[in-house]
Amino acid sequence: MVVDQPIVILGASGFIGSHLLRYLQAQGIPCEAPAREDTSWLRRRLGHVVYAIGLTADFRIHPLETVEAHVCLLRHLLALGDFVSLTYLSSTRVYSGAASTSESGSLRVDPNNLSDLYNLSKLMGESLCLHGGHPCARVVRLSNIVGLRNDPDIFIDQLLDEGMRTGHVHLRTALNSAKDYLWVEDAVALLARIAQSGCSGIFNVASGEAVQNAQIVAALQREMGFSVSVSDAAPIWEFSEIDMRRTLANFPFEPRRFDSYFPDFLRLYRRQKGF
**pTM of the full predicted structure?**
0.94
Residue 192 lies in a domain: yes
Structural domain range at position 246: 7-273
CATH number of the domain that 97 lies in?
3.40.50.720
Count of beta carbons in the 10 Å neighbourhood of residue 130: 16
Q: Quick check: is 1 in a domain?
A: no
Phi first, then psi, for residue 272 (nearest 5°) are -60, -40
Q: Per DSSP, what are the bridge partners of residue 48?
A: 7, 85
**How far lies 141's CA from each of 9, 119, 195, 268, in Å?**
17, 11, 13, 26
User: What is the full per-residue pLDDT of the chain (275 aa) written as tens digits?
Assistant: 445 799 999 999 999 999 999 999 999 999 999 988 788 877 888 999 999 999 877 888 999 999 999 999 999 999 999 999 999 999 999 999 899 999 999 999 999 999 899 999 999 999 999 999 888 999 999 999 999 998 888 899 999 999 999 999 999 999 999 999 999 999 999 999 999 998 999 999 999 999 999 999 999 999 999 999 999 999 998 788 999 999 999 999 999 999 999 999 999 999 998 87
Flag whether 121 is in a domain: yes
- Domain-embedded: residue 2: no
* Residue 102 resides in a domain: yes
CA 270 – CA 267 distance, rounded (Å)? 5
- Total structural domains within the chain: 1
Instruction: Examine residue 75 and state whether it is found in any structural domain, yes or no.
Output: yes
